[in-house]
Structure 1
Amino acid sequence: MAAERTSLFIFFGGTGDLAYRKLYPSMFNLYKKGTLREHFGVIGTSREKLTDEQFQQNVLKSLGTAKTDKEAVKFVSHFGYEAHDVTDKAHYQVMKKRADEMDKKFKLNGNRIFYLSLAPSFFGTVAGYLKSEGLTDTDGFDRVVIEKPFGRDFDSAQQLNEALSKSFDEKQIFRIDHYLGKEMIQNIEAVRFGNTLVESLWNNRYIDNIQVTLSEKLGVEERASYYDNSGALRDMVQNHIMQIVSLLAMEQPVSFTDVDIRAEKVKALRSLRVYNVAEASTNFVRGQYGPGDNQRAYRDEDNVPHDSNNDTFVAGKLLFDNYRWSGTPFYIRTGKMLADKFTRVDVVFKKPLIDIFSFPQNHNAPLEANVLTMYIEPHAGFSLRLNAKTNGQGFQTKPINLDYFVDAKDSKATPEPYERLIHDVMKGDGTNFSSWQEVSYAWRFVDQIRKVWDLQKPEFPNYTPGSMGPAAADELITRDHRQWVYRLNK
């Protein structure tokens, strides 16, 4: 069994979809593994009127277990509920009384984790009242977990951070990004810094380009109201993609600790070139899906304005102005209604300076580039493309793949991202969470792209559902005499 952790969790937005679909099931996994056992408590809060018993039954239902499951029933016995208005100061006194009762009942040592799954406009309000009304006045630790979006630009993010900083210091703030909880994202560091073969080649002398693709098969679904005010650039690039890119671009940290890892990620993001107007127009493209087979255009989706110019697709070229990566581009793309749902990183190595096998008299096709592919989801694994000789007479070459994929047994045992990240919060380990400096540099970069786009009127829609985005995304990379490793009809 795992080492038991002790804490009280207070979930603001505790009856929301995220809580029932991800957070409570992840906590139950930790309970079954022994990380949570006797000394934990949960208070769910929202405006909804519920009794403790009704809330516990809702949580049981979210776990997908029978009401006769003794382990699940014991787990939810640690749950309580308080109807709560986050803007009402008096409600925090009620919350404090309930928190103190739970602390005494389950012997929690004053350890408290406040999980804010709310609109960002309430972050500062909640943090302020938690401090002023004494919920953080304990002998244990106090930590606050913030769900995205953390602002919609640099200025709003800075305001949020300043509001939070009045009540919590940076070490107490955990800005959660569930992509950082994925097994293969965390494997980036293992592959890079655990293998001399890889790290010695991990630079602009041997790598031609790196490609990051986050492809979504579905459209906006029920998120249209939020998504139309966000778009792919803010919803995916500013957080998920920038975090992945920083792990790929960072230098080796002095030690494998959250302080040192974050420091190197910040250095990498500081060296990311912030584009001027001309560069942004050249190096970034956007798209919006039109109609397809049995699929409405984005502008015809429910709760989307018919004249919306919101981006449902983004592709771009990132450049780092530092010794390791100067001249090596990072190509990124993400979008909705694409060919399939997957996330992958393709590291394309430079070809040999002289291809001795492709002289005309050999009648051999040119060598292909070596490619290291990291499959993040839905299947986790690696693939390394090498060139080898074909069987038979003569001397012909062909690309072969050396593959490794996590088997079904190990995949089933792999912790879910939120399970892993909740565990890290209890440990106080910020390795897989975004620091304010990381967030700020990412926003500074993204804001420049957004400002340029706001000055232009796009020709939307410009791609068909089931494709890999608009033609401009392919032109972006072919202009540099390169191509996407993953492409349709190749």
Structure 2
Amino acid sequence: MATVQMRVRPEDLSNVPAASERIPNSTILVIFGASGDLTKRKLLPSLFHLRQSGLLPKQFAIVGVARRPLGNEFAEDMKAGILEFGGVDASDPKIDEFVQHVSYYALSFDDAAGYAGLKDELDKIAKEKGIGNDRLFYLATAPEYFAPIIENLGAQGMNQTENGRVGVVIEKPFGHDLESARELNHQVNAVFSESQVFRIDHYLGKETVQNILVFRFANGIFEPIWNRNFIDHVQITAAESIGIEGRGPFYEKAGALRDVLQNHVMELLSFVGMEPPSSFDADAVRREKVKLWQSIPNIPILNAVRGQYGPGIVDGKRVLGYREEDRVSPESGTETYAAVHLQIENWRWAGVPFYLRAGKRLKKRATEITIQFKQPPLLIFNRMQAAGPCTEIQPNLLSIRIQPDEGIALRFGAKVPSAPGMAVCPVNMDFDYAQAFGKSTATGYERLLMDAMMGDQTLFSHRDGVEINWSLYTPILQAWAAKDPEVFPNYFAGSWGPDCADRLLERGGHAWRNKLGKPE
């Protein structure tokens, strides 16, 4: 397949708002679970990127909270993480200044008395550094600590301040089924109002995800055909080539459906399918997302399949099967692959199949949305006796690549010059973000952290949306738990998943698009 190369550059950056227009108030950011990998690999590098770009206030503080007595070691460890994972040069003069804003407080998360000491520590830091009353608490802990931390923050009155903004960021997983999600929402909202709660999904911090809304609603050529009259079906893939990376105990409780499909992929679905919001403020966007999810009927169990990888070859290296991974049961029934076929029963999408899949140890890493358009009513060129491989008209495809090669590709048919007959071959018009705007070291957390500090909930999940999505997937989880799984493992590591996933699409006359990534 040929590729039409596009030299894309932004035409006019003169009206881009200055950085000073989006700088939070002076804030103390408190990270619970700060000794974990998330803080070192993602949160601190992202905060430093904001500092490099001039997007943090002059007066700010980052306080890591965990049980281990790390003391001054914490700041140095975070500096090492910024250098290793943040794409930062060790000679950058801003890094030592940034680390001076980082401190540590040892606390057992269920020690109610210890939170009084934490409150005193935050008041002390605020006074010494001239920071106002804004506080942002980030829960980067295991889920079982969410409720105790929130309860203790409320007991010490740290859920609100006078003349200041207080928020709480909660990492996924937010519950493990509908009942647990409802209970956690109740516990959270007993202490923090919904306007203070930021349920984070790092996928929504990616520029390519946010650009879906711009692509649809800022370009007049796409929205008129973004409906059941022109679109044949939609595929959303979240594929990983890695395994569980030593997270056996976590993954044994989670599985692919809970870990990725129920949250990340459903967020992507909402951006693809939602109606145009009245504005881009948080309430308007979240309202349209919830309306879309509410339009999805119950997913029949026959429209959901699962798989588990066995040994195989990935990138030329032999890898273990899931049951051979560290701290995984040798008889585990946990799915490492999940796929569903769902419908959206509204005026725009009625009758259009949506196929969603997520899996580990697949052939390549790729998160991609593919919109396949309907064929023309008369395929007159198929009647021509063309020679060579281009003898059938291929459907038009629009592919939105979320990672790793962020971009957008449009496939259409073109006549092959000088070919005998009327040979029509598919070609790709490809837009590459890195080529157009330059490469970025951003992780996606930068935008989300800044929005949370500013109280902007647009890219965060509302409690209603969380519960609606769990209501769709909990029956599937219950049905899977009630019966023995298919014979596991049922796909090789390095493949595109189990055969049952292929049959899921074949019933509708479709096939997975497995040529993912940037067109060659």
Q: Shorter chain as normaliser: what TM range? A: over 0.9
Please tell me whether residue 422 in structure 1 is matched to residue 465 in structure 2. Answer: no
- Structure 2 vs 1, CA of residues 101 and 389 (structure 1 numbering), >3 Å: closer, same or farther? same
Matched residue type, 2:446: E
Between the aligned residues of both structures, percent identity stands at: 39
- What's 2:421 paired with? 394
Instruction: Supply the distance in 2 between the matched residues of 1:344 and 1:128 (Cα, whole angstroms).
Output: 39
Describe how 1:34-433 pairs up with structure 2 within 5 A: 34-51=54-71, 53-64=72-83, 70-139=93-162, 140-275=164-299, 279-280=300-301, 282-293=302-313, 294-359=318-383, 365-392=391-418, 393-407=420-434, 410-413=437-440, 415-433=442-460
- Structure 2 vs 1, CA of residues 66 and 411 (structure 1 numbering), >3 Å: closer, same or farther? closer
3-state DSSP of counterpart to 2:344 = coil
- What's 2:19 paired with? 2
| Deviation of the 1:360 alpha carbon | 5.8
- What's 1:479 paired with? 507
3-state DSSP of counterpart to 1:185 = helix
| Deviation of the 1:38 alpha carbon | 2.0
| Deviation of the 1:14 alpha carbon | 1.1
The structure, 1 or 2, with the larger RCO (C-alpha pairs under 8 Å, 6+ apart) is 2
Instruction: Supply the distance in 2 between the matched residues of 1:67 and 1:401 (Cα, whole angstroms).
Output: 41
Matched residue type, 1:230: A
Instruction: Supply the distance in 1 between the matched residues of 2:92 and 2:290 (Cα, whole angstroms).
Output: 46
Matched residue type, 1:435: H
3-state DSSP of counterpart to 1:208 = strand
1:67, 1:73 within 8 Å by CA — same for their partners in 2?
A: no
3-state DSSP of counterpart to 1:8 = strand
String of CA shifts for 1:431-455, please: whole Å, max 9, x gaps.
Answer: 1111111111110111111122122
| Deviation of the 1:482 alpha carbon | 1.2
Structure 1 window deviating more from structure 2 (4-13 vs 18-27): it is 4-13
Instruction: Supply the distance in 1 between the matched residues of 2:496 and 2:160 (Cα, whole angstroms).
Output: 52
String of CA shifts for 1:218-258, please: whole Å, max 9, x gaps.
Answer: 11121111001110000001110011011111100011111
1:150, 1:160 within 8 Å by CA — same for their partners in 2?
A: yes
3-state DSSP of counterpart to 2:330 = coil
3-state DSSP of counterpart to 1:210 = strand
| Deviation of the 1:135 alpha carbon | 2.0
- Output the aligned Cα RMSD: 1.7
| Deviation of the 1:402 alpha carbon | 0.8
- What's 1:19 paired with? 39
2:385, 2:391 within 8 Å by CA — same for their partners in 1?
A: no
- Structure 2 vs 1, CA of residues 209 and 67 (structure 1 numbering), >3 Å: closer, same or farther? closer
Matched residue type, 2:415: K
| Deviation of the 1:330 alpha carbon | 0.7
2:46, 2:446 within 8 Å by CA — same for their partners in 1?
A: yes
String of CA shifts for 1:342-374, please: whole Å, max 9, x gaps.
Answer: 111100000011111122666772311100000
Instruction: Supply the distance in 2 between the matched residues of 1:237 and 1:347 (Cα, whole angstroms).
Output: 18
| Deviation of the 1:108 alpha carbon | 2.2
Instruction: Supply the distance in 2 between the matched residues of 1:292 and 1:28 (Cα, whole angstroms).
Output: 39
| Deviation of the 1:484 alpha carbon | 1.6
Q: How many residues end up aligned between the 2 structures?
A: 483
Matched residue type, 2:399: T
| Deviation of the 1:411 alpha carbon | 4.2
Matched residue type, 1:87: D
Instruction: Supply the distance in 1 between the matched residues of 2:198 and 2:385 (Cα, whole angstroms).
Output: 62
- Structure 2 vs 1, CA of residues 356 and 167 (structure 1 numbering), >3 Å: closer, same or farther? same
Instruction: Supply the distance in 1 between the matched residues of 2:175 and 2:290 (Cα, whole angstroms).
Output: 19
Instruction: Supply the distance in 2 between the matched residues of 1:354 and 1:66 (Cα, whole angstroms).
Output: 58
Instruction: Supply the distance in 1 between the matched residues of 2:455 and 2:510 (Cα, whole angstroms).
Output: 43
Instruction: Supply the distance in 1 between the matched residues of 2:223 and 2:27 (Cα, whole angstroms).
Output: 39
2:384, 2:422 within 8 Å by CA — same for their partners in 1?
A: no
Instruction: Supply the distance in 1 between the matched residues of 2:78 and 2:464 (Cα, whole angstroms).
Output: 36
1:120, 1:160 within 8 Å by CA — same for their partners in 2?
A: no
1:178, 1:417 within 8 Å by CA — same for their partners in 2?
A: yes
| Deviation of the 1:129 alpha carbon | 1.4
Instruction: Supply the distance in 1 between the matched residues of 2:182 and 2:278 (Cα, whole angstroms).
Output: 29
Matched residue type, 2:272: L
What's the TM-score once normalised by structure 2's chain length? 0.90
String of CA shifts for 1:15-66, please: whole Å, max 9, x gaps.
Answer: 1110011101100111111112421011111111022x22221111111168
- Structure 2 vs 1, CA of residues 485 and 69 (structure 1 numbering), >3 Å: closer, same or farther? closer
Instruction: Supply the distance in 2 between the matched residues of 1:425 and 1:44 (Cα, whole angstroms).
Output: 17
Structure 1 window deviating more from structure 2 (425-434 vs 406-415): it is 406-415
String of CA shifts for 1:368-399, please: whole Å, max 9, x gaps.
Answer: 11000001111111110011111125322111
Instruction: Supply the distance in 2 between the matched residues of 1:67 and 1:325 (Cα, whole angstroms).
Output: 51
Instruction: Supply the distance in 2 between the matched residues of 1:137 and 1:403 (Cα, whole angstroms).
Output: 49
3-state DSSP of counterpart to 1:229 = helix
| Deviation of the 1:416 alpha carbon | 2.3
Instruction: Supply the distance in 1 between the matched residues of 2:386 and 2:405 (Cα, whole angstroms).
Output: 39
1:386, 1:400 within 8 Å by CA — same for their partners in 2?
A: yes
Structure 2 gap ranges (5+)? 1-17
Matched residue type, 1:454: A
Structure 1 gap ranges (5+)? none
- Structure 2 vs 1, CA of residues 397 and 70 (structure 1 numbering), >3 Å: closer, same or farther? closer
- What's 1:439 paired with? 466
Instruction: Supply the distance in 1 between the matched residues of 2:336 and 2:411 (Cα, whole angstroms).
Output: 31
| Deviation of the 1:143 alpha carbon | 0.2
3-state DSSP of counterpart to 2:227 = coil
3-state DSSP of counterpart to 2:474 = helix
2:176, 2:258 within 8 Å by CA — same for their partners in 1?
A: yes
Structure 1 window deviating more from structure 2 (354-363 vs 325-334): it is 354-363
2:384, 2:421 within 8 Å by CA — same for their partners in 1?
A: no
